[in-house]
Amino acid sequence: MKSAGIEIREAHFPGRAPIDAYGNGGFRFAEMSHRGSLMCLPSGIYGWNAAEPADLTDTAFEALFAEADDIEVCLIGSGLDLVPIRKALRERFSSAFIQADSMSTGAAVRTYNVLLAENRAVAAALLAV
């Protein structure tokens, strides 16, 4: 989308990076900040339209499932509280051979950073808090 000489692009960081901070409705990573939720995939870090636990549906994870061959573990940061993964979505992760774990966003960020440092095949879907 182009407007008055300013090009607006979909939020995307083309690489893997640890999350440096979270809170106030967003995240900091790779010397940048992002307002809103994030999807951290092997191909990069993307802005994600999910905003609350009710948004954690099959459709919300399509980009992740497109990269399923490169993902062993998916950490789902469900906000301030733990929200269990719905049965149908858990089954979809299982059929893609991805171990999915839901936890608070803070716990998911910390665990993602550890697994990333270990060079594990990890992805994260993080709701902003």
Task: Please state the pTM of the whole predicted model.
Answer: 0.89
What percent of the chain clears pLDDT 70, i.e. is strictly above it? 91
| Contact status, residue 76 vs residue 103, Cβ threshold 8 Å | yes
Residue 108 and residue 111: Cα distance in Å, rounded? 5
Q: pLDDT tens-digit profile of 110-121? A: 999 999 999 999
CATH fold of 10-126 reads Hypothetical Protein Mth938; Chain: A, (3.40.1230)
H-helix segments, 1-129? 62-66, 87-95, 105-117
Give the pLDDT score at 8: 42
